[in-house]
């Protein structure tokens, strides 16, 4: 197996980035009165998932720091799910879109948990 050289090669990073972009696109249609609350919050938390994965990847030589950044990413993914709950409850997104994105974040969280349990595999 060839060593991964960039965070961009990580499947979990790719999934997190794609999910954040999907949220960006759907949140463009949120009402203007949500600009500084829901829209801003869901965009920030969704983008933080992939950005924390990027930081974690560069901290692999420090297992505790690596694990901490992955944990932050996991927390941001859960926060994004919370904002998705509000988006659905306010009828800003369809049940289908909600289910798709919520499941994607469940998958991302699962991948992050596995990485946290296997920090030695990622250390340099």
Q: Domain residue spans in the chain? A: 16-122
Asked if residue 1 has pLDDT above 70, the reply is no
Cα distance between residue 90 and residue 11, in whole Å: 32
Give yes or no for residue 85 having a pLDDT over 70.
Answer: yes
Architecture (CATH level 2) of domain 16-122: Up-down Bundle (1.20)
The predicted structure's pLDDT at residue 95: 98
For 26-82, what is each residue's pLDDT tens digit?
Answer: 999 999 999 889 999 999 999 999 999 999 999 999 999 999 999 999 999 999 999
Residue 86: the pLDDT is: 98
pLDDT band, very low/low/confident/very high, at 91 (cuts 50, 70, 90): very high
- Region of residue 6 (left: phi > 0; alpha: psi -120 to 50; beta: else): beta
- pLDDT of res. 20: 98
Q: Which of 69, 63, 105 is nearest to 84 (CA)?
A: 105
Asked if residue 123 has pLDDT above 90, the reply is no
Across the chain, mean pLDDT equals 95
What is the reported pLDDT for 2?
A: 57
Where b means 16+ CB within 10 Å and e means fewer, 21-35 reads: eebeebbeebeeebe
């Amino acid at each position: 197996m060839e060593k991964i050289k960039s965070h961009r090669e990580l499947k979990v990073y790719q999934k997190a980035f794609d999910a954040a972009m999907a949220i960006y696109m759907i949140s463009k249609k949120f009402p203007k009165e949500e600009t500084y609350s829901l829209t801003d919050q869901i965009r920030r938390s969704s983008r933080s998932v992939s950005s924390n994965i990027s930081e974690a990847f560069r901290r692999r030589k420090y297992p505790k720091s690596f694990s901490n950044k992955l944990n932050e990413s996991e927390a941001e993914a859960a926060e994004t799910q919370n904002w998705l709950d509000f988006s659905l409850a306010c009828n800003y997104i369809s049940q289908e879109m909600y289910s798709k994105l919520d499941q994607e974040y469940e998958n991302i969280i699962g991948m992050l948990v596995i990485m946290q349990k296997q920090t030695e595999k990622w250390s340099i």
